[in-house]
Structure 1
Amino acid sequence: MNRDFNASYWQQRYQQNQTGWDVGSITPPLKQYFDQLENKALRILIPGCGNAYEAEYLHKNGFTEVYVADVAAEPLHNLLHRNPTFPESHLLHQDFFSLQGIYDLIVEQTFFCALDPTLRAAYARKCAELLQPNGTLMGLLFNTVFEKEGPPFGGTREEYVSYFASYFEFIHFETAYNSIPPRQGKELFIELKALKLES
């Protein structure tokens, strides 16, 4: 890849409203998963969060340890504007690969597909590093190849398995049955349990 998808690139996308991935609300697969969670004190990280409708939903439903990270400031401001009671200290304006801390759950929603594909193996390892053993990486991955040059970047189930297999136990890794209509049949719902990393 010869383009630098850095903070200024993404900030410009938001300022110019070039956010075709943004559907304006939480999507059904994530909402259904969140609705069955009972522990409202789970430490949850949403990397590359964008406008973070998932964090908004969790916050409004009593989850107290929700953290969002993005290299662009604009979507973090948007989240806080919509939800003034969201803790500002939980807004992490930084690069995913520089994040520290340990989480119980990482939520993947259109971040993986925004990364340069050469970073996908590093993404899988970084998720494992940020999760406690048996912590969960959950979310959606595009199981399709896009006609236009990315981002978003597509891929295949087989490709994705190769990135995650060293770090996770696969609980669910199949086509989502409740995707929004434009993405029907093109998304994988994933639920992966972090293995203990070798030091």
Structure 2
Amino acid sequence: MNPTKDIQCCNTSCASPFNGTFWDEKYKANETGWDLNQISPPLKSFIDTISDKSLRILIPGCGNAYEAEYLLQQRFTNITIIDISSTLIEKLNVKFDGQPIQVLHGDFFEHKEKYDMILEQTFFCALDPSLRANYIKHCHNLLNNSGKIVGLLFDVISDKQGPPFGGTKNEYQKLFEPLFLFKQFNKCSNSVQARNGNELFIEMKKKILTKNQ
């Protein structure tokens, strides 16, 4: 049995073969097997613990943006979502019309702003593994000094030639450790059934680097 059969994910960088055109075709054909049709339960549980509704939050590779929708319901006021699929962004502009959220069509790796939190939900797994170090570095650059990455990583080994790309806890920690402090890096206990046992919940704080680092 292939452990990644029911695990799919969305969006990636223009620097990859899995670019905007690739994801446009997926959305047009309704080939969105990664879509949970709801906010991911581990992220919902974490969001429910946040008292500061003014945090600047970025959701890269946002897909249908259920996390953003929930943040709005909870009256968060500084939400930005970005996705490389123009087809998707057209739908999201309609969905969020008139609401206090910034909807951006673009490449995450070219985005320049500052945030308190980055929510990771099926974006990292869509990136070619060769882009993972760049993702981590760019997240570090986008975050304020006390900023965090919070979200989910797939804890599976996959030999697939396309997304989702898997990995292990040990592999991920080696990648993130130079730039982030681990607050949580554990198996999820409340994943949806299709992903049960295959998700890691991460909460990582940005490291403040010295000039020599």
> Does residue 175 in structure 1 map to residue 187 in structure 2?
yes
Contact 1:104 1:136 in 2 (8 A): yes
Q: Shift of residue 76 of structure 1?
A: 2.4
Q: Shift of residue 60 of structure 1?
A: 1.8
Q: How many residues align?
A: 196
- Distance in 1, matches of 2:22 and 2:174, equals 29
- In the alignment, which residue of structure 2 is the partner of 1:196? 208
- In the alignment, which residue of structure 2 is the partner of 1:92? 104
- In the alignment, which residue of structure 1 is the partner of 2:63? 50
- In the alignment, which residue of structure 2 is the partner of 1:158? 170
Q: Shift of residue 83 of structure 1?
A: 3.1
3-state SS, counterpart of residue 68 of structure 1: strand
Q: Shift of residue 21 of structure 1?
A: 0.8
- Distance in 1, matches of 2:113 and 2:47, equals 22
Alpha-carbon spacing, 1:198–1:116, altered in 2? closer, same or farther (3 Å): farther
3-state SS, counterpart of residue 208 of structure 2: coil
- In the alignment, which residue of structure 1 is the partner of 2:119? 107
- Distance in 1, matches of 2:136 and 2:55, equals 21
- Distance in 1, matches of 2:31 and 2:24, equals 10
After TM superposition, where is structure 1 displaced by more than 6 Å over at least 4 residues in a row? Answer: none
Contact 1:52 1:75 in 2 (8 A): no
Q: Shift of residue 34 of structure 1?
A: 0.5
- In the alignment, which residue of structure 2 is the partner of 1:28? 41
TM-score by length of 2: 0.87
> Does residue 136 in structure 1 map to residue 136 in structure 2?
no
RMSD: 1.5
Q: Shift of residue 78 of structure 1?
A: 2.6
Contact 1:128 1:197 in 2 (8 A): no
Moved more, 139-148 or 106-115: 139-148
Q: Shift of residue 159 of structure 1?
A: 1.0
TM-score by length of 1: 0.93
Contact 1:80 1:86 in 2 (8 A): no
Unaligned 5+ residue runs, structure 2?
Answer: 1-15
The partner residue of 1:82 within 95, 104, 115 is 95
- Distance in 1, matches of 2:175 and 2:118, equals 16
- In the alignment, which residue of structure 2 is the partner of 1:185? 197
What amino acid does structure 1 have at the position aligned with 2:184? H
- Distance in 2, matches of 1:93 and 1:82, equals 14
